[in-house]
Amino acid sequence: AAVAGPKGLQFQPIAPVASTVDALTVPDGYSWKPLISWGDPVVPGAPVFDLDRQSPEAQEKQFGYNCDFLAILPLGRDKAVLVSNHEYTNENLMVPGFTTEDALTPEQLRTSIAAHGLSVVELQRGKDGFWQVKPSRLGRRITGLSTEFELRGPVAGNALVKTAKDPSGTKVIGTLNNCAGGITPWGTVLSGEENFDQYFKGDPAGDPRNQKTYSLVSSDGKPSQGRYWWKADDRFDTAKTPNEINRFGWIVELDPYDPTSTPVKHTALGRFKHEGANVYLSKKRQVVAYMGDDSRGQHLYKFVSRDSIGRDTTNRKALSRLLDAGDLYVAKFEADGDPANDRDGTGTWIPLTQGGKSAVPGMTHEEVLLFTRDAAAAVGATPMDRPEDVEPDPRTGYVYIACTNNSNRTTPEPANPRPANKDGHVIELRETGRDAASTTFEWSLLLVCGDPANPSTYFSGFPADKVSPISCPDNVAFDLLQPGLWISTDGAPSTLKLNDALHYVPLTGKERGRVSQFLAVPTGAETCGPWISAADGSVFVNVQHPGETDGALVDKPTSTFPYTDASKRTPRPSTVQVRRIRK
């Protein structure tokens, strides 16, 4: 195959890897090392990982489980700060002797809660160009268990977010299910609280705006058990603490440079299953955050700040306030009336809040922000095929939307053209006047994913016989210096019987749509992050849930990643650096 990749990261596309292979596969001329794994020390004084001696206290100082979003931020010459999300836990691969979730002890449940959240570690570049974790005062765990957050913006202090333990309605303990994310122009990290509902026990008599919208009660009236966390803490029982759930489902902001800072939950950006948030500046230099709600038939959103960012982009604490006030919009995609081509069209951003007020009849401002799914449905937003990561190209401002899949879709809708869409697609959205604050846009399908031999796939006109198979696009990323879109996948094992992958796709010229596979993660894993640094000749990925397979247990795993040693008892989700070693 011809060489792919931008300057500094050129590579020969790898052949797709069967879904049973327990190895990280990288291109010829590249090498990889794990940077940090579940259980490794993060906070000064943390114990070393010991599978048989886990505790909430140890886990609160160690790298959490199932690393997802990943950022590597500047700190000076040969120094950097790594921030990673920890989305969820796989107790069957964490707890020796695991039988069922129901049988976990409160202590084991608290260890799991502590394995959620984020990690911050300092990195030092080694002589061989690979980065290493360095003990540092910046080392910090943000957990589901004990980290205090400030709830900010229009919903802070509202009656619906007050609890007996927090009568102020402004102090939330913990963050949960942190999936994708982005960085702000002022150097902080935004992280999405995605499937927060799974931690809460349902209540058939509870508020339908949670119980029904988030399926906490099944159609036959049975309450969900919330992964049994209510056995460790009754804030996870919606019958006992009905408002606790309203304190989750937000975009959170973390300042990784200040280990004493209080992280923030930003209510102006709405509450739903937030995949993540990525920022671009409008012509007036307002902060525009693009966001997806990753469920079948849910929506695409953007937040436009009321105030603009000035010349000083360094005052992190003050600039964070830009996310406290602004307008929230939801996308309606429209066809352009050309029946011969359903691959492009126009669209409108419908306001949900405007000028500090609700724009949705029958809902208050606070209700729109708390029950944003209901507001979006009420104004006729387009139901999407699970919009995951949404990211603007830093060069053009064009926005790329990974719609991972929707096998339930029966009716095509604009920008979601394929019924039974098991492989997903990627949309390009171009704001009118190239202004991120615009209320109208044009869109095109960049990719309709799948096995290229499948005639329903589309690669922007690039010949299908010259691309890598791609399925279930999830995270998207740009290098800050080099052009092209990087796409990681979550679901290729079930659709293509291939290990999940990281791909590179040029966006312009005659190479537009040429999908080239850069790496494959081990069996059972999904590819997360990614963080791309062509200047460093490196690609960083979070290898999430290696060995996640039905029936897998500690001492009976299908993966021992990142080890090749079969005596290792269980896999460990890890951040990995893949580095070019041959020019």
| Chain residues that interact with ligand FEO, rule: CB under 6 A | 87, 179, 194, 275, 294, 388, 474
Q: Which of Ca ion, ligand FEO, none does residue 447 bind (CB under 5 to 8 Å by kind)?
A: none
- Distances from the Cα of 41 to the Cαs of 115, 141, 143, 257, 529, in angstroms? 13, 10, 14, 18, 20
Q: Which partner in ligand FEO, Ca ion, none is near 536 (CB below 5 to 8 A by kind)?
A: none
If contact means CB under 5 to 8 A according to the sort of partner, which of Ca ion, ligand FEO, none does residue 477 touch? Ca ion
Residues 6+ apart with CB under 8 A from 127: none
Buried b (16+ CB within 10 A) or exposed e, 412-434: ebbbbbbeebbbbbbbbbbbeee
The distance of closest approach from Cβ of residue 192 to Ca ion in the complex, given in angstroms and rounded to an integer, is: 9
Radius of gyration (Cα) for the chain, nearest Å?
22
Q: For residue 218, give the 3-state DSSP assignment.
A: coil
Closest separation between CB of residue 205 and Ca ion, Å?
32
The stretch near Ca ion (CB under 5 A) out of 285-293, 428-436, 466-474, 505-513 is 466-474
Residue type, 334: E
Q: Residue 468 or residue 489: which is nearer to ligand FEO going by CB?
A: 489
Q: Nearer to Ca ion by C-beta: 109 or 251? A: 251
φ, ψ of residue 27 in degrees (nearest 5): -70, 160
- Closest separation between CB of residue 180 and Ca ion, Å? 5
Which is nearer to ligand FEO, 61 or 425 (by Cβ)? Answer: 425
Cα-Cα end-to-end distance for the chain: 18
Distance between CA atoms of residues 578 and 206, nearest Å: 48
Sheet holding 538-544, edge to edge: 30-37, 574-580, 538-544, 526-533
Which entry of ligand FEO, Ca ion, none binds 40, CB below 5 to 8 A by partner kind? Answer: none
Q: Is the dihedral of CA 484, 522, 109, 102 positive or negative?
A: positive
Residue 193 site contact among ligand FEO, Ca ion, none (CB < 5 to 8 Å, cut-off depends on kind): none
Structure-token match 């590579």, residue found: 11
Q: Which two tokens stand for residue 195?
A: 């499937």
Contact at 8 Å (CB) between 27 and 518?
yes
Choose which of 374, 389, 479, 500 interacts with Ca ion (CB under 5 A).
389
Q: How far is the CB of 294 from Ca ion (least distance, A)?
A: 7
To ligand FEO, the closest distance from the beta carbon of 545 in angstroms equals 11
Q: By C-beta, is 366 or 526 nearer to ligand FEO?
A: 526
Question: Which position among 233, 237, 324, 474 is part of the footprint of Ca ion (CB under 5 A)?
Answer: 474
Q: Which residues pair with 134 in a beta bridge?
A: 122
- Spatial separation of the C-alpha atoms in residues 240 and 88, rounded to whole Å: 24
Closest distance to ligand FEO from the beta carbon of 294 (Å): 3
* Between 431 and 474, CB nearer to ligand FEO: 474
Does 490 bind Ca ion (CB under 5 A)? Our answer is yes
Read off the amino acid at residue 230: W
Q: Which stretch binds Ca ion (CB under 5 A): 8-16, 36-44, 108-116, 380-388?
A: 380-388
**Whole-angstrom distance, CA of residue 531 vs CA of residue 15:** 22
The order of strands in the sheet holding 251-254 is 171-173, 148-152, 264-266, 251-254, 189-193, 178-183
Query: Which helix (DSSP H) or strand (DSSP E) does residue 209 occupy?
Result: helix 208-211
Tell the smallest beta-carbon distance from residue 493 to ligand FEO (Å): 15
Q: Does 500 bind Ca ion (CB under 5 A)?
A: no
CB of 488 to ligand FEO, least distance (A): 11
In degrees, to the nearest 5, what angle opens at C-alpha 5 toward C-alphas 499 and 544?
Answer: 30
Least distance to ligand FEO, CB of residue 528, Å: 8
Nearer to ligand FEO, 294 or 536 (CB): 294
User: Is 56 or 64 the residue whose CB approaches Ca ion more closely?
Assistant: 64
Q: Shortest distance, CB of residue 475 to ligand FEO, whole angstroms?
A: 8
Single-letter residue type at 482: Q
Piece of the chain touching Ca ion by CB under 5 A; list 107-115, 233-241, 485-493, 550-558: 485-493
Give the shortest CB-132-to-Ca ion separation in angstroms: 24
Q: What number of residues does the chain have?
A: 583
Question: What letter would DSSP give residue 530?
Answer: E
Identify what 161 binds: ligand FEO, Ca ion, none; CB under 5 to 8 Å per kind.
none
Closest residue to Ca ion using C-beta atoms? 490
| Among 150-158, 176-184, 283-291, 313-321, the segment contacting Ca ion (CB under 5 A) | 176-184
Q: Pick between residue 161 and residue 485 the one whose CB is nearest to Ca ion.
A: 485
Nearer to Ca ion, 385 or 388 (CB): 388
Query: Tokens representing 509?
Result: 């010229």
548 lies in the binding site for Ca ion (CB under 5 A): no
By beta-carbon proximity to ligand FEO, the closer residue of 91 and 388 is 388
Residue 194 binds which entry of Ca ion, ligand FEO, none, CB below 5-8 Å type-dependent = ligand FEO
Q: State which residue, 12 or 198, has the beta carbon closest to ligand FEO.
A: 198
Choice between 26 and 403, CB closer to ligand FEO = 403
The 10 Å Cβ neighbour count of residue 258 is 13
CB of 428 to Ca ion, least distance (A): 15
Record the tokens describing residue 207, joined without a space.
């508020």
CA distance 566 to 77: 39
Total residues contacting Ca ion by CB under 5 A comes to 8
Rank residues 322 and 501 by Cβ distance to ligand FEO and give the closer one.
Answer: 501
Does residue 171 contact residue 184 with C-beta atoms inside 8 Å? no
Which partner from the list ligand FEO, Ca ion, none does 87 bind, CB cut-off 5 to 8 Å by kind?
ligand FEO
Q: Which region, judged by CB under 5 A, interacts with Ca ion, from 38-46, 117-125, 154-162, 470-478?
A: 470-478
Is the dihedral angle over the CA atoms 444, 449, 452, 456 positive or is it negative? negative
Question: Cα(492)–Cα(526) distance, rounded to whole angstroms?
Answer: 9
Q: In 3D, which of 16, 42, 9, 68 has the Cα closest to residue 530?
A: 68
Q: Which residues contact Ca ion (rule: CB under 5 A)?
A: 179, 388-389, 391, 474-475, 477, 490
